[in-house]
Structure formats: C-alpha cells, structure tokens
A and B are shown apart, each in its own frame.
Chain A
C-alpha cells in the first residue's frame, strides 16, 4: 500500500510574500494607522513645546545654554531607559510611548529653530524695529517666517526619527508597526512579516518627509523663486 503525500514543496520562509500582505492587510493597516497617528501626535506636541522654548532661548540669551543642555541630556539617555523611567508612573500604554517620543523630538526641533532664528539678518531685525514693530509683532511677522526653513528642517528630522523610535514602544505593547516586526520575530521568525513591518516603517518615514518638504515649499515660496 502506498501513500502519496500531497503537500506542495516546502513553502519556505521567504523575505517577501504578496500572499502575506493580502492575508494580513487588516492587521497591517491598523498597525500603520496606529504608527502614523502616534508619530503625528508626537511631532505636533513636540513642536508646540519646542518652538516656544526656542523663542525663549532666542530672546533671553543666558537661557539658551541651559535649554540646549537640558534637551541634549534628554537626548543622551537611551530610549529604553527613558521608557524604564516613565513606564512605572504612566503605566503601560499610549501615554508612555508619546511622552518618550516627544522628549526625544524636542532636541532636534529646539536646536534647528534656534539656529533658524539666529540666522535672521540683523539688518532685517533693525529695519523691523525702525518700522515700529514690537517684540511680538516682530516675532510673528518677521522672525518666525524667516526662521521657517530651520524649523521645517527640525520637524522633518524629528518626524523621520520618531517613526523609527515608535517601534521601541513594543516594550510597553504600543509600538505600531514595531508590534508587527516583533511579533514576526517571535512567531517562528516569520521573515515576510518582519520585512513587511520594516518596509512600511521606512515608507511611512519617506512619505511623511515628502509631505513636510512639500508643505515647506508652499510656506516659503520666496526660497523656491530665489533658487530657480
């Protein structure tokens, strides 16, 4: 009596599989949306804190050193350690991930905004003063618009590194696409899943970067005109 074993040849463990993407599109979409929303919220919150901080550092020069040093120290602390400091207090969840990621994004945005503000030519500042602009009027009408390229560079760098950093949120179970990557590793080293998570991560960073670059071009039309 003979048996014919009718399984197909060993399915293997390919690095990339359309089959996987089709079968798991729901999970991947949820993770991608989660990742994108975490990133967007984090960069927004970080910008809302960092830009005023940079303005303070710009107005009161003696504070510039301490502000940059403080954000620099935050940046030196390893991300996993930051999670370890915050998780026991804020618990396991989105708030912890957001806090860590925001703290990291601060440095990049503060530094680039300060750089942008200090690059405003002194003649322009004096002319604005001569035209009767007050401190706030000058800030909103002259200095911040001229510092926009610096601020946008900061936002773009912060966004790209935030996309990568959110994956570390796996440690508290909210890593967006990091969950996909990590689960792929734990479930028998499922290469297609790891690769799908990684590629989506890199793509997300690229797309967000391009969007911000486009927004930057729209907001600073004078730069495009000058270079063309």
Chain B
C-alpha cells in the first residue's frame, strides 16, 4: 500500500477524527491557540504601530523588530518560554506564537498611518482636530486596508507556526504529524501525510477566508490602494 493510500485510509477512519486527541480535538486546540496568539499580537502591536506611525518616529525600530524575530528560531521560543514565569501549558505557547505575529502587524500599522494622505492630515489639523482626534478620525480609517493586510499575514503565519507547538506537546494539528513520526516512517507514513494535508489545508483556508474578509472591510474607494498595501507591507517586513 502506497503512502498516499495509507493517508486516505487514515483520513477515512472516523475514530481518527472523533477519538480524544483526534482530528477534531486537535483542530479545536489549533484554532484556539492561533486565535489567542493573533489577538494578543494585535493588542500589543496595533497601538504601538499606530502611535509610532502617528508621531512618525522610530521607523527603524519597526524594521529592527521584524529582522530580529526573523532570526529567532520558533523552536527556541517554544522551549524557552515554558521555563519562565509563564509555566508549561497554553500561555507560553500563545505568547511564543504571538511574537511571530508582531512584525507584520506592527509594520502594517506603521505603514498604514504613514501613508495616509498628508493633505487629509493637514486639513484635519486645520479644522482644529487634536493629535488624538486626527489619529482616530482620519489616519485610522485610512489605515484599515493596511491593518487588514497585516492581520491576514499574521494570522496565516501563526496558524502555520502553531503546528510546531507539537514539539513541546502544546497541542494542535501538528501533534498528528509528530505522532506519525514517532511511529517510524514505514508504519506512520500515512498518518504523517494525512496530518500534513490537514495542516496545509487549514493554513490555505485561513488565507482564503481572510482574503475575503480583507476585501469586505476595505472601502471600495481604497481597494485600488489595497494591492499596493500588500506589497509595501511585505517590503516593510522584508526591511526593504
């Protein structure tokens, strides 16, 4: 029986889905971990990014954060954080994943505010709006396409990275792959492949769903700018 056939058989076994620690359990864990990590990332990165963009200071800091997190192995954070005050279990996994959500969120919030039309900003100032009001009523709405683009990039990345939580027994769909590797390739090949298919399918569907959400929250007038937003945000993350 080829590996692909084994994988199909594995996926067609209802017990593999409904057992404790089966696909449904792992999917739930995966989604909870990812959602919590993205939410935490947004809570931290958006206010800082928006404020830095508003004041126009510390653009170098944004690039620095992006470059440093690129160099830190996920495995390192996942193994280090449980040994700190966070302790073993979900909190440390969520924080580790949130760290990798920071660069796209931060860079996009920063770029989003920076790219707001200077004339709109000046007009708002001229109308007597305070700095805080300019940020809330002018810059923030104009930055929405960028925030959405950053959210999507961050969410897809977190969902992908959450598969690695299985290295520290943190749960998620990655556990299925790890368990398969534990069985040895000959016996677990089908399970490994099936787990890979599940993880990849989840990542791709999150990407597709969020692309639709991103389109829905972007006002029609700003849609033309949206494609540029993605590209420039990618450049910002890439330090370009």
Task: Report A's interface with B, CB cutoff 8 A.
Answer: 73, 76-85, 87-89, 91-92, 108, 112, 153, 157, 160-161, 163-165, 167-168, 170-172, 175, 177-178, 181-182, 184-185, 189, 191, 194-195, 197-198, 201-202, 205-206, 209
Contact = CB atoms under 8 A, between A and B. Distances in A.
B75 interface: yes
B70 A170 contact: no
B167 A78 contact: no
Which 5 pairs of residues, A with B, have the shortest CB-CB distance?
A84-B196, A78-B160, A198-B76, A88-B189, A205-B71
A181 B73 contact: yes
A182 B75 contact: yes
Nearest to B188: A88
A182 B238 CA distance: 28
A160 B163 contact: no
Contact of A85 (B70, B167, B193, B240): B193
A87 B192 contact: yes
B75 to A, nearest CB: 4
B73 A198 contact: yes
Contacts of B79: 181-182, 184-185, 194
B156 interface: yes
Given A89-B3, A185-B79, A194-B80, A80 B196 contact: yes
Given A81-B163, A194-B79, A164 B177 contact: no
Contacts of A163: 71, 73
A160 B71 contact: yes
* Interface class of chain A by DSSP: helix
Contacts of A92: 185
Interface of B: 3, 67, 70-76, 79-80, 82-83, 156, 159-161, 163-164, 166-168, 174, 177-178, 180-181, 185, 189, 192-193, 195-197, 199-200, 203-204, 207, 238-240
B203 A78 contact: yes
A100 to B, nearest CB: 11
A36 to B, nearest CB: 14
B70 A164 contact: yes
A165 B82 CA distance: 21
Given A161-B70, A163-B73, A194-B76, 11 more contacts: A76-B156, A77-B204, A81-B195, A87-B185, A88-B3, A112-B238, A167-B76, A168-B75, A168-B164, A182-B167, A194-B79
A161 B73 CA distance: 9
Nearest to A13: B83
A189 to B, nearest CB: 6
Given A78-B161, A80-B177, A201 B200 contact: no
A172 B71 contact: no
A82 B80 CA distance: 25
Contact of B72 (A83, A88, A172, A202): A202
A76 B83 contact: no
B238 A153 contact: yes
Contacts of A82: 196
10 contacts: A76-B160, A77-B204, A81-B177, A85-B200, A88-B193, A164-B73, A171-B177, A182-B79, A194-B79, A194-B80
Nearest to B198: A81
B71 A181 contact: no
Given A81-B199, A153-B238, A160 B70 contact: yes
Contacts of A85: 193, 196, 200
B71 A80 contact: no
A92 B181 CA distance: 9
Contacts of B193: 84-85, 88
Contact of B178 (A76, A81, A171, A181): A171
B72 A195 contact: no
Given A81-B196, A81-B200, A76 B207 contact: yes
B240 A80 contact: no
Nearest to B88: A189
A160 B67 contact: yes
Given A160-B67, A181-B79, A84 B199 contact: yes
A206 B70 CA distance: 11
A16 to B, nearest CB: 12
